[in-house]
Chains A and B, each alone.
Chain A
Amino acid sequence: MQELWEGLVQAVQLIVRLDPEVVEISLRSLYVSAAAILIAALFCVPAGGMIHFHEFRGKKVLINVIQTFYSIPTVVVGLFVFLFISRAGPLGGLELLFTPGAIIIGQVILILPILTGMIISALNGVDKSIKDTALSMGASGSQAIWTIIGEARFAVVGALILGFGRAISEVGAAMMLGGNIRGYTRVLTTAISLETQRGDLVLSLALGIILISIAMVVSVIVNVLLQRY
């Protein structure tokens, strides 16, 4: 118990002093996961909208499949992407393995299902009368869709926060695809994993606190912004 307390105190000191390595790892984590969520959103918001607004055969099955992939293990995603981008894989020529880009790809794939699924449920939560009203007020089809997405903005942003949380907190894909290279692909989770194994619990704790803080701060900022609009 004493050790944990001392560790916490030292961890806070590391953060307050803005230890260069801690800052560097934190920023990289933020960058990689923010990029992942942005890329995923660019795909998932339109895809979720398409699935929600169109009736087609197998729609229910598709949504079920998407929901099944919510809990896909991060190491499976890591393995899958690894097979594609390793030297022998179909995308081996791009030399992406063990780069931040590889982690981003892994995290995008990891959060695609949950983000798409959550956006579909967000749109489901919007009353059908909103669409009728938008159309009868002269909106075009795409204007009406944007109006509906706007009505669902709280739930859509909630989905984005959840996706970001899953991306920044996962360790499997980041480890397998990034390789935890110091100063290049080391992110918060892989660093915590490594430092804990090496016995540097203080650094691990500091990184853990930062990880939790980032998740909280992002969520608070977004909620404050939403309340304003």
Chain B
Amino acid sequence: MPILRTVNLEQRAGSARLLKNINLEVERGEVFIIVGPTGAGKTTLLRLLDLLDAPYAGDIYFDGRKATGPDVNVMEVRRRMAMVFQKPVVFNTSVYDNIAYPLKVRGVANSIIRSRVGELLEICGLSGLGKRRAKTLSGGEAQRVALARAVITGPTILFLDEPTANLDPASVKTIEDLLAGFNRRDSLTVVMTTHDLQQVQRLAQRVGVLMQGELVQAGTPREIFHSPGDIRIAGFMGIKNILRGIITRQEGGMAVVEVKGRVIEAVSELPAGAPVDIYVRPEEIVLSLQELRGSARNTLAGTIISIGLEGPLGAVVLDCGFRLEALVTARSAVEMALQPGQAVYATIKATAVKVLPALENAA
């Protein structure tokens, strides 16, 4: 049974629909990351899940029980949750009092508070800072205080709203390591938002993609990165070489797609006449000076527009009637003496061309 589930959750601000039809399931003990561009509604969703705001419509179920509606004791439910905000929030008291706060409001005995705070100061690398005024901490330290304060009660679920967005890389790593630790050791369920896709790959067990207030896809990071549900998601995931075309012929799962007058063959079940968005990963494109003879179905002639470096690889941008980006090793770039203006052939296997039904107003 999922620890957290939403049913047709909707939120509005005035007449604007910030979130619509959110059906989300978070399993016990997993790290679930909600990604999406700025303004997609990530913060709005987390505020609903933490019961800070009431939804316009729809329900939230937490640990098998309804957590929305008039008969719910919101504080009781909220006391099994915790939230860390994007901008580190600390009370204008000592670090110790900040971390102790959730236990104090629950009326926990001072002796227990002392030992718990001591433990967390150490785990979070804040030993010796207990007496410091929390406002004088750096952003990274303050966020660690916020994290320690959030987990001190041993919550069932922890929400984090882009917790590392304002931090330097070292602090980001510290926070991520702490989160992974709490998740592993204490089986803490973590639901966090981010727009950092690398963070998704580092932390997430499952991912939900939120775009324009809708949960457009949910799955494992592998599913999301390798089979994005539509071209908007693919674009957000940083996938390159996205092209708009139309299927002109369909033969037993092999589709011929026309893109700006050029013909590309791809594996797809979509029928002839269907408008489609296709994309090809740059690493799936083979460049050559002569036309390659082989099993690959697509060979496109083009001219090099520019060559850039991407780590040890060369990113070659071609004009094939449309823009195409290919990756080559630095060595083969030298061997082929690639330079702007040069004519080359791009070879792509039909299986490397991903075809998605065209989306209105996208691509």
The chain A residues found within 8 Å of chain B, CB to CB, are: 127, 129-130, 132-141, 143, 147, 150-151
Contact = CB atoms under 8 A, between A and B. Distances in A.
A151 B91 CA distance: 7
Contact of B52 (A130, A136, A143): A136
Given A132-B52, A143-B105, A138 B79 contact: yes
* Interface size classification for chain B: 20 to 34
Contacts of A140: 75, 105
B298 interface: no
A145 to B, nearest CB: 12
B52 A135 contact: yes
A139 B91 contact: no
Contacts of B159: 136
Interface string B82-104: 11010101011100000001100
Nearest to A147: B91
Interface string B116-151: 000000000000000000000000000000100110
B101 A137 contact: yes
A134 B149 CA distance: 11
Contacts of A132: 47, 52, 83, 85, 89
> Binding site of A, secondary structure by majority: helix, strand, loop or mixed?
helix
Contacts of A151: 91-92
A143 B106 CA distance: 10
B50 interface: yes
Contacts of A141: 75
A147 B137 CA distance: 20
Nearest to A131: B52
A137 B85 contact: no
Nearest to A127: B89
A138 B75 contact: yes
Contacts of B106: 138
A143 B103 CA distance: 12
Given A127-B89, A133-B91, A150-B93, 9 more contacts: A129-B87, A129-B89, A132-B85, A132-B89, A133-B85, A133-B89, A135-B52, A137-B150, A141-B75
Nearest to B146: A133
A129 B159 CA distance: 15
A132 B48 CA distance: 12
7 contacts: A127-B89, A136-B78, A136-B81, A137-B149, A138-B79, A138-B82, A138-B102
A156 B295 CA distance: 79
B153 interface: yes
A138 B105 contact: yes
A135 B78 contact: yes
Contacts of B83: 132-133, 136
B75 A136 contact: no
A130 to B, nearest CB: 7
The 8 A-B residue pairs whose C-beta atoms are closest, nearest first, are A136-B83, A138-B79, A137-B102, A139-B105, A133-B89, A129-B89, A143-B105, A138-B102
A137 B87 CA distance: 16
B105 A137 contact: yes
Nearest to A144: B105
B102 A130 contact: no
Contact of A129 (B85, B92, B101, B105): B85
Contacts of A134: 101, 105
A137 B82 contact: yes
Contacts of A135: 52, 78
A135 B87 CA distance: 16
A132 B79 CA distance: 13
Nearest to B86: A129
Contacts of B153: 138
